[in-house]
Amino acid sequence: MLPQLPFDILVYIFRSLPVTRLDDEGARALVCCLQVNHLFYDACLDPSIWKAHYLCRYTVFEKKSENDRRSLFGSDWRTLYAERRRIDRTALDHLQNMIFNRDHRYDHAENLMRMSLDVWDILDIERQLPIPPSFRIYVSEPDGIVKAHALTRRYWANLMADVIVRCSALDVWKAVIDGDNPFIQESDDSSLQSSGALFELAMSAFSCFFGRPLTEVSTSSLVPCYSSDK
């Protein structure tokens, strides 16, 4: 029988697992390690390990929902990750039903819309799925195992991801025009109410019509985001 590794060494090993956005192999390995023994279980619960996976995979969110999750789970990054994966699975179920259940396709699309930015990350991942080589146009197309119905999944995932971020742009413009921007109201910095900051916010929202969320292009503090230091 192999000697038991020290706790700190196990934590170091688990921190070295790959942290990637397009797949969750590292997180799946951690879940498997949780079931080995008590020492592995405790080592896998180290918050810094799951924090890296969470912040890498989930870059976009609905602010109120994320606030609720942070209030409920605090710095329990494993539970936060599990909660977002639960939302991902729900979104993928709707996406799957959009492919196979044509009669109720738009009902599932409406449900995805209601989940809003909380499902943008998983839709963005789905629209980058590998497709059969004969359909690849660009050399930058991802390579890997081609899942069943990959082309159709990419089509609907791309469509829904774009619709969701475009709706978020409309929300921003409406808030700026009405003068009731919630990002401004929740901030203690009066300088954020300047016309320059509002102009940047409004102009940055045009990125949403090119398939990218507001958080990727704006440096404004009005954009909802969380620091990796929290």
* Model pLDDT for residues 106-137, shown as the tens digit of each residue: 999 999 999 989 999 999 999 988 887 878 77
Cα–Cα distance for residue pair 85/150, rounded to 1 Å = 20
pLDDT tens for each residue of 2-60: 467 788 888 888 888 888 888 888 889 888 888 888 888 888 888 888 999 999 999 88
CA distance 49 to 97: 34
d(CA 71, CA 64): 11
The answer to whether residues 81 and 53 touch, using CB atoms and an 8 Å cutoff, is: yes
Please determine, for residue 216, whether its predicted confidence score (pLDDT) is greater than 90.
no
The pLDDT tens digits of the residues spanning 83-107 come to 999 999 999 999 999 999 888 899 9
Rounded distance between C-alpha atoms, residue 141 and residue 132, angstroms: 10
- Location of structure tokens 């993928």: 92
pTM summary value: 0.80
